[in-house]
Amino acid sequence: MATFLVLGGYGAVGREIVALLRDGGDEALAAGRDAARADRRVDLAEPGLRSYRAALDGAGVVVNASGAEDPRFAELAAARGAAFVDITATTSYTAELERLDPPRPVLLGVGLAPGLTNLLAADVHRAAPGPVDVAVLLGAGDRHGPAATDWTYRLLGRRFHHGGDTIRNLTRPRAFDLPGLGRRRLYRLDFSDQHALSRDLGVPVRTYFGLDSRTATAALAALTWLPGASRAPRGVHPPGGDGWLLLARGHDGTVRWARGRGQSRGTAIVTAAAARLAPGLPPGTRHLHHVLTLRDLPAHQGIELG
């Protein structure tokens, strides 16, 4: 049985991953800078990553839920014989990891978006081959970790390349009919899932984002046009709930969706399932849709599929 080392293991997502792994009978170690809360003290910002190298002793799987992004984390883990799982949604960092040639498995696109969105889109494409639009709706009132909030704000005003086009984040709205929520207007955002899926499925896949608060969604769409918006204060929590909903829609109207409560909990459910699978994978870098389907997700843990 593998020992799981969870970077950021006492953070919003990390503590949920640790709890799910332990509940399933696995040995999971929380890693972080605070020795009082960590099973293994790790400072991912220190020169030479000395504490990280030491923490790898005996680990069979490393799960990066810290929000820190450095390809060396995967390289060092693989060199020590451990599989590596990362919940990142950052396109540039994902591309760096994809260029690795690791001697152990590296699993990407793990969490809600990317992750569960990949499985939904792949399932739609199997049923109705062709372009897929992906909707990501998160709860504006959900108190998830600061890394997730910072990630969204960093994208404000920035552009990304997709399918030969250059797109400003939080522009180009599209309407979606969301189960239980009605018709909602969502905006393009640079989640890494659409890049991997477009390449692997051979069709355009576009990801759209919004919050359950229409006002908060409209505010983000306005902020993306303001200079310096990426440095806006992070501590403001607009009204909203903690529910999330993901939906993939095919060109013929075929739809698959998933929903739950608590972004951190949902991310952890998918990540724990992927982490348990990782040690048995061949060497190399893969995305979640390469190794799992919707039917492989654990039942009765808080994710509803439809």
pLDDT tens-digit series, residues 274-301: 999 999 999 999 999 999 999 999 988 9
Which region among 41-50, 147-156, 184-193 has the lowest average model confidence (pLDDT)?
A: 147-156
pLDDT score of 238:
62
Query: pLDDT tens digits, residue range 250-261?
Result: 999 999 999 999
Is pLDDT at 201 greater than 60 in this prediction?
Answer: yes
The stretch 113-127 carries a mean pLDDT of 98
Query: pLDDT tens digits, residue range 16-64?
Result: 999 999 999 999 999 999 999 999 999 999 999 999 999 999 999 999 9
Cα–Cα nearest to 212, from 268, 157, 261, 167: 261
The domain locations on the chain are: 3-110+266-305, 113-262
Which region among 27-41, 134-148, 202-216, 227-241 has the lowest average model confidence (pLDDT)?
A: 227-241
Between 153 and 138, the more confident residue is 138
Is pLDDT at 234 greater than 60 in this prediction?
Answer: no
Which region among 76-90, 143-157, 172-186 has the lowest average model confidence (pLDDT)?
A: 143-157
pLDDT score of 235:
56
- Residue 125: phi, psi to the nearest 5? -65, -35
Structure tokens at 305: 């599929």
Start-to-end CA distance of the chain, whole Å, equals: 33
Question: What single string gives the DSSP state of each residue in the chain?
Answer: -PEEEEETTTSTTHHHHHHHHHHTT-EEEEEES-TTT-SEE--TTSGGGHHHHHHTTT-SEEEE-SS---HHHHHHHHHTT-EEEE---BHHHHHHHHT---SSEEEES-SIIIIIHHHHHHHHHHHS-S-EEEEEEE-TT----HHHHHHHHHTTT-EEEETTEEEETT-S-EEEEETTTEEEEEEE--BTHHHHHHHHHSS-EEEEEEESSHHHHHHHHHHTTSTTGGGS-S----S--SEEEEEEEETTS-EEEEEEE-HHHHHHHHHHHHHHHGGGSPSEEEEHHHH--GGGSPSSSS-EE-
Cα–Cα nearest to 134, from 88, 183, 197: 197
- Residue 131: phi, psi to the nearest 5? -60, 150
Is pLDDT at 236 greater than 60 in this prediction?
Answer: no
Q: What predicted TM-score, i.e. pTM, was given to this entire model? A: 0.95
List b or e across 17-35, with b for residues whose CB sees 16 or more CB atoms inside 10 angstroms: bbebbeeeebebbbbbbee
Q: Are 65 and 41 in contact (CB under 8 A)?
A: no
* Mean pLDDT for all residues in the chain: 94
Q: Are 16 and 264 in contact (CB under 8 A)?
A: yes
The stretch 234-256 carries a mean pLDDT of 86
- Quick check: do 3-110+266-305 and 113-262 share a fold? no
pLDDT score of 212:
94
pLDDT score of 144:
61
Which region among 51-55, 115-119, 139-143, 150-154 has the lowest average model confidence (pLDDT)?
A: 139-143
The stretch 74-94 carries a mean pLDDT of 97
Fold of 3-110+266-305: Rossmann fold (3.40.50)
Cα–Cα nearest to 151, from 178, 169, 171, 166: 169
Is pLDDT at 232 greater than 70 in this prediction?
Answer: no
Q: Which CATH class name applies to 113-262?
A: alpha beta
pLDDT score of 75:
98
Which region among 68-77, 132-141, 194-203 has the lowest average model confidence (pLDDT)?
A: 132-141
% residues pLDDT > 90 (the chain): 89
The stretch 160-187 carries a mean pLDDT of 97
Predicted confidence band of residue 162 (pLDDT cuts 50, 70, 90): very high
